[in-house]
Structure 1
Amino acid sequence: MDAEQPTWEDLVIRPAPSAPVAAPAPARPAVAVPAALRPRQRQVQAAYLAHELRAPVTSIRLGLEGLSEGAVDRLTDDERQMLDIAIRNTLRLEGLVNDIMDYSKLAAGRMEVAKEPCDARALVDEAVDAMRAAATARGVRLVRDAAPGLPRCSAESRRVVQVLVNLLSNAIKHSPQRGVVSVSVREGTREHAGTLLFRVKDTGPGIDAADLERVFGLFEQAGGTVKKSEGTGLGLTLSRAMVELHGGRIWAESWKGCGATFCFTIPVAASDLSRPVDVYAEPLQVHGLVAEFARRFNAVLALFV
């Protein structure tokens, strides 16, 4: 007897037998990163993130600036204000990215300075010009005072301008409306002989004596608290490292309620020294400072990576 043939309903309604499903492949075990390599891994991640952000942020800034220049006669006051705010915040973001990249180099021991004889007056002028718009927006007056006939300093000009801009930025932020921020440069005397002495003074609330050293710590501000104001909290930390890489020193002077003055020295160029000067009796311990910065930076970065 012939086997029963499947009906049309059998073919349409009954599901076809499913193919055998292969067992899932065992999960790959996570690669354990040795504890000694974790700080380095976080530094690389931070540097990579900052590097990837730099190009698009710069592109956005250039686009906004081009739009601002091309549409200057076609924007309402409100539109102009919104565009200016966007440009300022893009510049701020660009600064944050650059700070992270600089700190990653510092923590990895890869930050170097290419020193050459520099005109200190020109460095002050460049920094003041860079911060003029920010000061005007906050109603703060900038005053520069560079003594005539100064010798040249031995420095990488870009880095010294960066230090001055960091100090001016802090001074402007902490000065009241109609306040005054002054920046000066003089030839050092006595314990500062053989250097140029830069000073940035504000008319803000000042800093407690107990905090004068702590303000240079990573992610700290006056009062010893974690950085709360805008920025990465790296500005003074980077400034200190850059000054010391030049063979100089940086410190703060203040009395509560009387403003603050940030001072730093940069050695005079050897070709401009009238006589050999032993500037500092003891070598600067830059490597220990970098190690401490790296330890604290990695501790905070671990919270986000």
Structure 2
Amino acid sequence: MRLSRISLQDSPFLTDGSPREAKASTRCLRILLVDDDALNLVMLREHLTPHGYDLIEAHNGEEALERARTENPDLVVLDVVMPGLDGLEVCRRIKAGQGEHFLPVILITARGDTGSKVEGLGCGADDYVTKPFHPDELLARIESMLRIKRLEDNLAQEKRRVEIEKEKLERVIGGMHDAVITVTPQGEISLNPSAEVILAPQAKDGPLAYLDICRVLAFDPLLSALNTLPKKAGAEEDSDALVREITLGDSTYGAITSKLPFPEHGGEGAIVVLRNMTKEKEVERIKNEFVSFVSHELRTPLTSIKNSISILLSGKTGALSSDAEKFLGIANRNALRLAALIDDLLDLSRIEAGRLELNFARCSVGKSIESSLGCLASQAEAKHIVIQREIPLALPPIHGDAKKIEQVVTNLVGNAIKFTSEGGRITVSATSVDTPPANVPPLPVPADSYIQVNVEDTGIGIPPDHLERIFDKFHQVRQAQSSGGTGLGLAIVKSFVAAHGGTIWAESEPSQWSRFSFLLPVFSQENLYHFALHSGVDRAKRAQNVLSVIGVRLEAGVSARTKDGLEMIEETFSWIVGTIEKNLYKPNDLAFPLPTRREIRVLLPDTPKRDAMAVLRRLEQVLHPILWDDTEPAPPIAFSVCSYPDDGLSAPELEFYLSENAGSLKIRGTGDLSPEFDPFSEL
């Protein structure tokens, strides 16, 4: 966490709150000379005065202690042998009272034996000079000690500054309404007061403990899940945060979880910031319900109005005057516009509520583009606009909804026709690319390659200040407002593209051209599963629903034998995939084979974990009698089951949970799941 820092040079106050002088004063370094022999003091003064030091003197131990307390010296040169308090005792008392203020002491004595030196240094002396000495030697030792003092003073000042910053940060975090939780690599928890209030009810036995935090915030898989996040577009380092929603009691919180270095603990922990979003979610829910309700209620009377106008315009009720026909035509156009707005509102409401129906299958982007252009040909011809196609035949197929892709292209080309003058040109191109362009928004799941579709026109262009918001709901450029648009079309287009794991962006040169481009991912089977899991969690989160995932794995060393006598693992694997697909009840249940890992993932939308266990039991009953006979024991098939939100609140967390618990359920040769595990014991 980083706070804005203002230099103290810009502040009229010092760190202790006292007023800063208009101009910092400088002083000579001050040295306290202590000796009961006046001649020795004169000699020391003669050697040191030419070097610019401010020299003060003391003739005995008591005077030395008083001068050290009141004169604020930077260094003490102290004779050992003195009447009363000797130099060793003076040194002890100076060091005992210096606190954080470092005051170096150099002892001077004629005792040069090792025992005397050890005793002097043991009293706290920082250096030891024996008589007789050369003046240059003493000067060198003094300069050395003063350098050390400067470093010590700088260190103390920096330490104090850090302590002040720490106190400020603790006050800021302590006063935050948001909850802040940190966990070290060893599981030590720190919570601010807001976090204690929010999480205290979650403690099962006594004070809040690490296991309670793990259960509520899914910390166990969290750090590993953070490491699996995709790299941000254009970033040198991986993303380091998970943004999620969690429910605690009746409240919904937005949770931002990041890796947090703990050098003193030798690793990385995590920091979580929880923000209460209950009111915002409730307002959003009411708004969506209201929009959906009003749209549905308007649809029936609007249909009646449209039909009535159509009958009048057809002449079935009698001939119309020119004025009547003119006004009915205006009413008909506005009724059609209102109908389009209602349809857009209903589509957007379904998208935001996670209820958008998508029929994913292997499809051709090129065919969707051609179908869309065929429907728009008459509109382009009416304005004498040429539509140029640049669509190769060899585009790879994608996993998507062909109708939704067609709707995306229809909207973009329809806008291009609307805002291109008569006689203009529109170019629709598609190409296969290995990586996304550097300037595009980040994609949720990496793909093996992409299909980029561009719709470019020679129209009026888009002002630069509108490009950032062009895909926002109800946002319209001034020219678009007079064209009869609803301001929802591009927002819906963006949602359709995002639902395919893609991204869309716009570029323009005002008064010359505009280009809308979108990317659709081409997934391998492995990445297709990750995309489906990511989308499934997102839909469940939006709809406040559940999602379960079953993991299936052929254990190492399987020499499978089907009833037809096939002994090839690959054929057995394919047969198992087909058998699982045939025994899934709901049309939205999907099986994803991952042959390189000998694993299968089964996504069960709208299915709680208990029902997923029932699906697993049925699969076991179907697979066992066919794969194994009663005479030959077979290696097991391993299963694992997890669900959102019980076992994880994001796709990486769910996949981590499946991997960590792979093999917790196994089909043995006995024809039943392993008896040592009761899947319903924790539900």
Please name the residue that 1:189 is paired with: 434
Matches within 5 A, 1:7-156: 37-55=282-300, 57=302, 90-156=335-401
Per-residue CA shift, 1:28-53, capped at 9, x if unaligned? xxxxxx96534322321211222233
Q: Residues 185 and 199 of structure 1 are in contact (CA less than 8 Å); yes or no, is this contact kept in structure 2?
A: yes
Assess, with a 3 A threshold, how the Cα gap between structure 1 residues 87 and 251 changes in structure 2: closer, same or farther.
same
The one-letter amino acid paired with 1:268 is: V
Which residue in 1 is equivalent to 2:425? 180
Kindly state the Cα deviation for residue 96 of structure 1 after the two structures are TM-superposed.
1.6
Count of aligned positions: 246
Q: Name the structure, 1 or 2, with higher relative contact order (CA <8 Å, separation 6+).
A: 1
C-alpha separation in 2, matches of 1:156 and 1:101: 19
> In structure 1, what is the equivalent of residue 498 of structure 2?
244
Could you report, residue by residue, the CA deviation over 1:132-183 in whole angstroms, capped at 9, with x for unpaired residues? 3333344433333321122112211121112112111221121111112222
| Residue type at the aligned position of 1:151 | P
Q: Identify the match of residue 221 of structure 1 among 476, 484, 501.
A: 476
Structure 2 residue ranges without an equivalent (≥5): 1-277, 438-447, 543-683
Cα RMSD, aligned residues only:
4.1
1:181 is paired with a residue whose SS is: strand
In 2: Cα distance, 1:133 partner to 1:94 partner: 22
Q: Deviations over 1:55-114 (max 9, x none)?
A: 55557667888999999xx99999999998777655443322211001111232333533
Separation in 2 of the partners of 1:38 and 1:188? Answer: 42
2:461 to 193, 199, 206: 206
CA–CA distance in 2 between the matches of 1:181 and 1:240?
21
1:268 aligns to 2:513 (yes or no): no
Give the whole-Å Cα distance in 1 for the aligned partners of 2:310 and 2:454: 33
| Structure 2 SS opposite 1:196 | strand
Deviation at 1:205, TM superposition (A): 2.1
Higher Cα radius of gyration: 2
Question: 1:219 touches 1:227 (CA, 8 Å); kept in 2?
Answer: no
In structure 1, give the amino acid aligned to 2:510: K
The alignment status of 1:256 with 2:510, answered yes or no, reads yes
SS for the counterpart of 1:250 is: strand
Q: Choose between structure 1 and 2: higher strand proportion.
A: 2
C-alpha distance in structure 2 between counterparts of 1:58 and 1:105, whole Å: 21
Structure 1 unaligned spans of 5+: 1-33, 292-305
The answer on whether the counterparts of 2:435 and 2:450 sit within 8 Å (CA) in structure 1 is no
Question: Relative to total residues, which structure has the larger helix share, 1 or 2?
Answer: 1
- Matches of 1:187 and 1:87 in 2, distance apart? 43
1:159 and 2:404 are equivalent in the alignment: yes
Equivalents in 1 of 2:513, 2:370: separation in Å? 23
Distance across 2 between alignment mates of 1:144 and 1:63: 41
CA contact (8 A) 2:435 2:449 kept: no
TM-score by length of structure 2 reads 0.31
Tell me if structure 2 keeps the 8 A contact 1:180–1:203: yes
Aligned partner letter, 1:119: S
SS of the residue corresponding to residue 470 of structure 2 reads helix
Percentage of pairs with the same residue? 32
Secondary structure at the residue paired with 1:220?
coil
Q: 1:195 and 1:228 mapped to 2: Cα distance?
A: 36
Q: 1:122 to 1:78 in 2, by over 3 A?
A: farther
- Structure 1 runs of 4+ aligned residues shifted over 4 Å read 55-71, 74-91, 225-229
Moved more, 236-245 or 51-60: 51-60
Residues in 2 aligned to 1:46 and 1:182: alpha-carbon distance in whole angstroms = 36
CA distance in 2, matches of 1:67, 1:103: 33
CA contact (8 A) 2:365 2:405 kept: no
Indicate if the aligned counterparts of 1:154 and 1:266 stay in contact, CA closer than 8 A.
no
Query: Would the alpha carbon gap of residues 61 and 121 (structure 1) be closer, same or farther in structure 2, given more than 3 Å must change?
Result: farther
Q: Go from structure 1 to structure 2 and tell me whether the alpha carbon gap of 1:153 and 1:61 turns closer, same or farther (over 3 Å shift).
A: farther
